[in-house]
Structure 1
Amino acid sequence: MIPESHPRYRSLVTREQMAEAARSGVVALEGLTAHGRGEAFDYLLGEKTSASAAEAERVAAALLKTARHPVISVNGNTAALCAQAIADLQKASGAIVEVNLFHRTEERVAAITRILEDAGCQVLNGPVERFISLDHDRGLCHVNGMAAADLILVPLEDGDRAEALVSMGKKVIAIDLNPLSRTAKTATLPIIDEVTRAVPAITSAFKTMNQEEAEKLTKNPDGKRYLQDAIMTIRSRLDDLLD
């Protein structure tokens, strides 16, 4: 039992949540490494949403509002951490939710789908094909899902697929705590924030945004600036520690 008075209570509870999801097969063991890497960057960012990330989350909402065929791609870590938040975003935006995995088995797909559906998501099911030019199972997707999408929200790191999707002419929103990752650098819009903060913020912005504002925000999203802002935040915090 982790006492709520523990200074790292939220972080430790999340670790327990991820460990249980790994034991049940929802999260691949390799996914625990990815979670730990993200947690380290969240330390460096101050474990809070920066003003720059909050702005990026509004732009993400605008991109979803103006998209023709938006898709939310979900892996095991995302399902374990924020299935309910994904369901809320789907209800607000009407985006398709599709399970996409690097360590793919039918058992894992089914387990993740159950978690999402229990939270209220409508998950795209059916046969998949290699519509994305990748030599691993991230390349498998649904013909009516990512294959047809003009915009894809990719929570958590996924560099080679983000790169492949952008090369196909699709817009990619990436939620990634690491501003140095290929995912963040490749995405149309990188959001340098923790996924359980970012997804609800996107949903909230979507609900309060009108179409005119959305059109303005999506004219020229400057993804590089959001990366630079995150790196400057980290640098500033490290400088403060050294003073």
Structure 2
Amino acid sequence: MHIRLTLPFYIYPFHFFRGSKMVKIPKSHPRYWSLLYREKIIRGMEEGITAKAGLIAHGRGEAFDYLIGERTIPPAEEAMKVAVAKLLLANHPVISVNGNVAALVPRETVELAKVTRAKLEVNLFYRTEERVKKIAEVLKKTGAKEVLGLNPTKRIPGLESERGKVEEDGIWKADVVLVPLEDGDRTEALVRMGKFVITVDLNPLSRSARMANVTIVDNIIRAYPRMIELAKEMRDYSREELEEIVNNYDNNKILSEVLLHIRRRLEELAKEGIWRKEKI
């Protein structure tokens, strides 16, 4: 299955201001969408939303996106369906938001929370109160009525970093947590707490991917719009139908299928030749 990179919520800008200099990305550029989202991350850093380390993380994700073919593959589609089913079944679902998520998919994050009845909570490794407030403002500007994370009073056991700080009525109380673009140590700590953890991670070998209950190996710019579509389709399912979807899922099998997909794709590219002569 190939899911387009364009999203239905708004028309993307074609120009970015970096400081006082305008950066123009021509739509004819063969890497238009990749450059566009890269600029969103850079702009997020300049606006105090994304941490500098977020640029490195985004670049690493781009590399893995090349490996899977820059498209939504069947294992990711299956994982998304299970993730949505679990969010719809949850008593207290929460979607965690970091700087990269706020820079890349703020509107989609808010929409996904609405259709799954999930709460939003800002959670940052490089936490400052100013960054938390700015991310909350971005989410509210795109339609969020409530954003948690500004007044954490609890700490995830065994997690000493700033990511251990959570709100009692948010992640602390949650039974299902969606933690996209996540650090492995927090994923592991949340699972230890008995929470059902869903992650979106382009690296199938990361600790987050291996520790989560459901791992969506896809680019978040494709995953969130598709999850919104699925949630709208599945919210009328019976509880029994949703539970059957979740109970039949095997995350280890899904990760194995992703690795096999990458291997097959690399083998095909090696046989066909990755260099293609263009007509001049």
TM-score by length of 1: 0.97
SS of equivalent to 2:182: coil
Matches within 5 A, 1:59-208: 59-121=82-144, 122-124=146-148, 126-133=150-157, 134-208=159-233
Q: Does 1:238 align with 2:262?
A: no
| Inter-partner Cα distance in structure 1 for 2:34 and 2:96 | 24
Contact 1:21/1:80 (CA < 8 Å) preserved in 2? yes
Q: Which amino acid aligns with 1:177?
A: L
Structure 2: gaps spanning 5 or more residues? 1-23, 272-280
Distance in 1 of aligned mates of 2:58 and 2:100: 8
| Residue 218 of structure 1: aligned partner | 246
Q: Distance in 2 between matches of 1:145 and 1:64?
A: 14
Q: Secondary structure at the match of 1:218?
A: helix
CA distance in 2, matches of 1:125, 1:40: 31
Residue 180 of structure 1 aligns to a residue whose secondary structure is coil
Cα displacement (A) at 1:127: 2.0
Given that 1:59 and 1:218 are in contact with CA atoms closer than 8 Å, whether structure 2 keeps it comes out as: yes
Q: CA deviation at 1:167?
A: 0.5
Letter in 1 for 2:81: R
Deviation at 1:220, TM superposition (A): 4.0
Which of these two proteins has the greater Rg computed from alpha carbons? 2
**Please, which runs of 5 or more residues in structure 1 have no aligned partner?**
none
TM superposition outliers: structure 1 runs of 4+ over 6 Å: none
Measure, in 2, the Cα distance between the counterparts of 1:188 and 1:221: 10
Conserved? CA contact 1:102–1:137, under 8 Å: yes
Q: Deviations over 1:12-43 (max 9, x none)?
A: 11111111111111000000000000000000
Paired with 2:114 and 2:223, the residues of 1 have a C-alpha distance of 16
CA distance in 2, matches of 1:73, 1:202: 15
Q: Please tell me whether the aligned partners of residues 151 and 167 of structure 2 are also in contact (alpha carbons under 8 angstroms).
A: yes
1:219, 1:232 → 2: CA distance? 23
Matches within 5 A, 1:21-40: 21-40=44-63
The more displaced of 181-190 and 153-162 is: 153-162
Give, in angstroms, the shift of residue 138 of structure 1.
0.4
Q: Please state whether the residue corresponding to 1:25 is helix, strand or coil.
A: coil
Q: TM-score, normalised by structure 2?
A: 0.85
Deviations 1:186-220 (A, max 9, x none): 00000000001111111111111112321211124
Helix, strand or coil: the match of 2:194? coil
Q: Which residue is 2:274 aligned to?
A: none
Q: Percent identity?
A: 49
How far apart, in 2, do the equivalents of 1:131 and 1:147 lie? Answer: 8
CA contact (8 A) 1:192 1:226 kept: no
Determine if contact 2:181/2:199 at 8 Å carries over to the other structure.
yes
